[in-house]
Amino acid sequence: MGKKLLLIMVSFSLVLALAAMPLMMACEEEVTPPGEEEEEEEEEEEERPPDYDTRESIVFGGARPLTGPLQIFELTSFGPCYQLWVDDVNAEGGLYVEEYGRRLPIELKIEDDGSDLGNSTRLLEKLILEDEVDFLIPNCSTAFLYASAPLANKYGKVYVTGEGGATTLTAMLGDLPYVFCTLNYADYYQMPVLADTLAEAGAETAALIYLNDLHGIEYDHTAMSEFTRVGIQVIMNEAVPPYTEDVELVMKQAQASGADVFCAFVYPPTTMAVVGQSMALGYSPNAMVIGPGGSAEYFNLAFGPIVDGLIGFGAFNRQSSPALDAYVDHFIEANAETALALFGSESGMLDYWASAIFYAGLQCLGQAIEMAGTLDQDAVRDVLATAHFDTVFGDTWFYTPGGPSGGGILAKECHPGEIGQWQNGVFEVIGYEGVTDILPNYVITADFIYPKPAP
């Protein structure tokens, strides 16, 4: 009887022990040693940015030509593009930044540099050091870019560029890891395409004038090299002062040269003066190439049928792709009221060289911030240097000449065009046979007309 009772008691104890095991295990899992929970919460808070609770926006700051001779670019080139991109981003609630766990709208802080180079770089430094903006809106023009890019890089600020070629800057990009150039330019890859297109059409001689600053010098030197490569002889080459409208003598000299091709690597208002003076002289070479401004809709509106046959840089139009067709509609709708007031047409602010490529560059920057999940400049820079982005150009990326540790250029393989020609009021993308072997995204929208129609 005693043995039987003992066996029952042992069995009962085993049942109780087995029943209690899950509860004991659960307790072991749930119990946090004293102080450990507080340490986890503190670690989570330490990972948050110090302004996690107070930050309301991402501030983009820039020194731009709101006045002065470069103002036309703020009105019709990069200016309306960054404004449109900011409006589009903010319409979605801002950029989603993971380290803040929310979308942050973009706030703009734009200073007027008065189109003055010294003032522009001084204001850029002020925006970085005093205003402590998060990201930069780029300065305007090739010379301003050359001065401001190393300055932004010095302070470790990501600098996605706007107006301005980078022929001279390209060799420096390996040492400028924060600089990313968006615009296509003289040797990347406009002049090579222009030279091959002209040579294929039968051009043999050329007369050149160029703006006596970095923009003009880069285009002039590249033209000399590329024309020589394809057998086009340069028989005249003259510099003109920045922003001059007095071009009568050089235009007469070009006319007297009898050159097949006339190129004017100049900025507005000289661009407009060149066309006006050619009309006054009755000068109509087989091909006329006009620099910045020549691909802008306001240029077509100002001169009408007179521009037919003129060549400008770029290039894209509605036929380039469905995405770019939609972009043109979107841009015109967003700027219609201002363009109508300034130029008498809702499309007057559209630039078929730069508008879409600038917007694509800003899309890359916005997506890089979201991919990085932070406003940290190094992290965003690394994404820009290595990632691919979905833009109005489709698959878009930056080529880094000095390797991924350096700065970049929006890859030529993404460009929808390099040169265009006004034909019946449309800026058509032109090129030569086989251009897509080098530039796979290139879409020729019309045949090159050579010789151009007489005005």
| pLDDT at position 10 | 36
C-alpha span between 41 and 307 (Å, rounded): 68
| pLDDT at position 244 | 96
Task: Name the helix (H) or strand (E) containing 218.
Answer: helix 214-230
Does the pLDDT value for residue 142 go beyond 80?
yes
The mean pLDDT value for 330-347 works out to 97
Does the pLDDT value for residue 15 go beyond 80?
no
| pLDDT at position 423 | 98
Encoded amino acid at 30, one letter:
E
The 10s digit of each residue's pLDDT in 83-95 is: 999 999 999 999 9
Q: Among positive and negative, which fits the CA dihedral 244, 248, 251, 257?
A: negative
| pLDDT at position 47 | 84
First to last CA, the chain: 127
Encoded amino acid at 59, one letter:
V
Instruction: Report which of residues 33 and 443 the model is more confident about.
Output: 443
C-alpha span between 161 and 142 (Å, rounded): 10
Does the pLDDT value for residue 226 go beyond 60?
yes
- Percent of the chain at pLDDT exceeding 70: 90
| pLDDT at position 25 | 41
Average pLDDT over the chain reads 92
Q: Among positive and negative, which fits the CA dihedral 274, 275, 278, 279?
A: negative
C-alpha span between 184 and 429 (Å, rounded): 14
C-alpha span between 58 and 74 (Å, rounded): 22
* 309 backbone φψ class: left, alpha, beta (φ>0; ψ -120 to 50): left
The mean pLDDT value for 304-313 works out to 96
The 10s digit of each residue's pLDDT in 268-298 is: 999 999 999 999 999 999 999 999 999 999 9
Task: Name the helix (H) or strand (E) containing 16.
Answer: helix 2-30
Residues β-bridged to residue 419:
313, 430
Does the pLDDT value for residue 99 go beyond 90?
yes
Q: Among positive and negative, which fits the CA dihedral 153, 155, 158, 159?
A: negative
Encoded amino acid at 238, one letter:
E
The 10s digit of each residue's pLDDT in 359-395 is: 999 999 999 999 999 999 999 999 999 999 999 999 9
| pLDDT at position 85 | 98
Lowest mean pLDDT among 11-15, 86-90, 280-284, 426-430: 11-15
Contact 36, 82 (CB under 8 A): no
The 10s digit of each residue's pLDDT in 32-57 is: 555 555 554 455 555 899 999 999 99
Q: Which pair of tokens denotes residue 92?
A: 């979605």
| pLDDT at position 455 | 82
Instruction: Report which of residues 186 and 7 the model is more confident about.
Output: 186
Domains belonging to the chain, first-starting first, are 58-181+351-414 (3.40.50.2300), 190-312+418-437 (3.40.50.2300)
